[in-house]
Structure 1
Amino acid sequence: MRAIRVLSAALLTLGLAAAPAAADSSPSPSASADGKAPTQAGTSFRTAAEMDQGRTATASASTGDYLYWSFPADTGQRPTVKATVKLPGTHAAQTWQLDVYDGLRRHQSCQYGAATRTAEQGTATVELACVLRTVRAWSEPWANDPLPGTYYIRLTVLNLGSADLGLPVRAEVRADSKNIGGAAAVDGSLGKPLVPGIAVKSDAEKDGSKSAVLSAIEPDDGWSSHWWSSRWVWTAVGGVLAALAGIGGYALTRGRGRPAYVPPGA
């Protein structure tokens, strides 16, 4: 009976610990209901239209324009960027490309997804997608790992013929993330997320003055700067299970000891 009680306690501990870890693997929530998606795009990194994750930004433009948007991505998230371009009824073959850059304007490669596609003559729409690597809390200076902060989306057409230059197009862009959790946790963190102007903002807060910040977007629950992750939960659970396994092994293998002395004739 004692072994059954010990086993029940272990299972209960495992269930309670698994709950927050399961929550980490769920998709990140959408932007707040009072937020609005931009209806136009920027033409450079500095004028990129700010958008929240979970909302679809739109823009009307001319073929040949460079379209820019920006969104925040935090530690443990794996962003997926999708774009749909609605083309005019008459056009020649066009090749569209979707690029994503981090807060240092370093180009981030896609794990998978069609980031470059060719729309054949007469095609009404072209769809692009890019699944980035998981955002890390810390990285070596020489590495190109994605880090928390602002991410830029650039949508443009390649190898455009002169006859199609300036034709009207309509673009839709959306960014979503899946929270990977402790599976992507590392030992270390950035002092500040890679958001343009955040260093200027920090100095201004210390001095009590006001200063312009190039980007004001951030996740709904703020930037994560704590050391906690679900990896600590599973580490604790592993320690508890190892201790219980040792106790159970000792209980099964220990000897019965000497029998009690029975006097002769008793």
Structure 2
Amino acid sequence: MRTTRVLSRAGLLAGAALLALCGTAGTAAADSGDDESTEPTEAGTSFRTATAIQPDQEATAEASTGDYLYWSFPADVGQRPTVHATVKLPEGTARHGGSTWQVDVYDGLRRHQACRFGAQTRAAAQDAATVELSCTLRTVRGWAEPWANDPLPGTYYARLTVTGLKADDLGLPMRAATKVTSSDAGGAMAVDGSLAKPLVPGIGTKMEAASSEPDDGWSSGLWSSRWLWTAAGGVLGALAGIGGYCLTRGSGRPARVPAGI
């Protein structure tokens, strides 16, 4: 009887421990699920309130037609960022005509940056459901002259707005989605020199300030694959010089005269 009571108590303790573990696992799974759904769901309405996003992170926002929507993202030396924007337009029956949409990109000094590729401005018919925009910047440089408008490492701003619209359509609900992708240009676009600090304005919320830096930190701008190509070129040049010297020295020896002549 005593043995049975001990076993029953042990079983209850084991069951309680198992339930505690299951509850902890469930909480951890819920927390993990919450972490995965941290993509921004709003946009700022000015440079100061721009919503910070990281490359390859999609952000969405519910807004009214006519609003200016701002997002900020980091871009480092050697990168070629592309801003993608998709606008889900209001119902065609609620609109009174077509519309024209535009995405603009500014650097940390709020200088407008030209788009090298992409459809920066697009017109949408009255019955169109969506409109897609894109803007590919020039390669971010590590250094530039003060008078130049070259893209430099730091914070960049993407602004989405409608530029052509009938007055009756202002204020209609719309949905916007934006995403920034980046490609590495490599050492072919590298330049000598680097900035002392990236162009990151000290403004905005704490979240924005913390997100203005890439996940892996800023690069120094001094090292690139250009150094490897330069070193390889030097080695090949030295070998070519040695080979040429050996060939020239061998061809300059006097010809041997056969004996008896």
CA deviation after TM superposition for structure 1 residue 66, in Å: 0.7
Aligned equivalent of 1:255:
250
* Aligned AA (1:252): L
Pairs within 5 Å for 1:142-161: 142-161=147-166
- CA distance, structure 2, for counterparts of residue 197 and residue 98 of structure 1: 24
Show the 5 A alignment for 1:109-128. Answer: 109-128=114-133
- Once residues 263 and 145 of structure 1 are traced to their aligned partners in structure 2, the CA distance between those partners, rounded to angstroms, is 75
Residue 88 of structure 2 corresponds to residue 93 of structure 1: no
Instruction: Point out 4+ residue stretches in structure 1 off by more than 3 angstroms.
Output: 33-36, 211-214, 256-260
Bigger Cα displacement from structure 2, 251-260 vs 40-49: 251-260
Residue 247 of structure 1 and its aligned partner are, at CA, apart by 1.8
What residue in structure 2 maps to residue 168 of structure 1?
Answer: 173
AA matched with 2:233? G
Offset at residue 215 of structure 1 (A)? 2.2
Who wins on radius of gyration, i.e. which is larger? Answer: 2
For 1:215 and 1:183, how far apart are their aligned partners in 2? Answer: 31
How much does 1:213 deviate? 8.7
Q: May I ask how many residue pairs the two structures share in their alignment?
A: 220
- 1:212 Cα deviation (Å)? 6.3
**SS of 1:255's equivalent?**
helix
Q: Report percent identity of matched pairs.
A: 67
Task: Compute the displacement of 1:37 (Å).
Answer: 2.4
Between the aligned partners of 2:52 and 2:78, the Cα distance in structure 1 is 21
- Partner of 1:85, secondary structure, is strand
Q: 1: CA distance between counterparts of 2:230 and 2:102? A: 43
Distance 1:148 1:188 in 2: 13
TM-score by length of 1: 0.76
Q: 2:217 aligns with which of 215, 218, 222?
A: 222
| Cα gap change, 1:226 to 1:63, in 2 (>3 Å) | closer
| Deviations 1:144-175, CA, capped at 9 Å, x for gaps | 11110000010000132122111111111011
Q: RMSD value over aligned CA atoms? A: 2.5
Superposition TM-score, scaled by structure 2 size: 0.78
Taking the aligned partners of 1:171 and 1:263, their CA distance within structure 2 comes to: 95
Q: Could you say if the C-alpha distance between residues 174 and 213 of structure 1 is closer, same or farther in structure 2, counting changes exceeding 3 Å?
A: closer
Once the two structures are TM-superposed, the CA of residue 251 in structure 1 deviates from its matched residue by: 2.7
Unmatched 5+ residue regions in structure 1? 1-32, 199-210
Q: Which residue of 2 aligns with 1:104?
A: 109
Structure number having the greater helix percentage: 2
1:49 Cα deviation after fit: 0.5
Which residue of the partner structure matches residue 241 of structure 2? 246
- Distance across 2 between alignment mates of 1:212 and 1:158: 32
Instruction: List gaps (5 residues or longer) in structure 2.
Output: 1-34
TM-superposed deviation, 1:184: 1.6
| Larger CA deviation: 40-49 vs 177-186 | 177-186
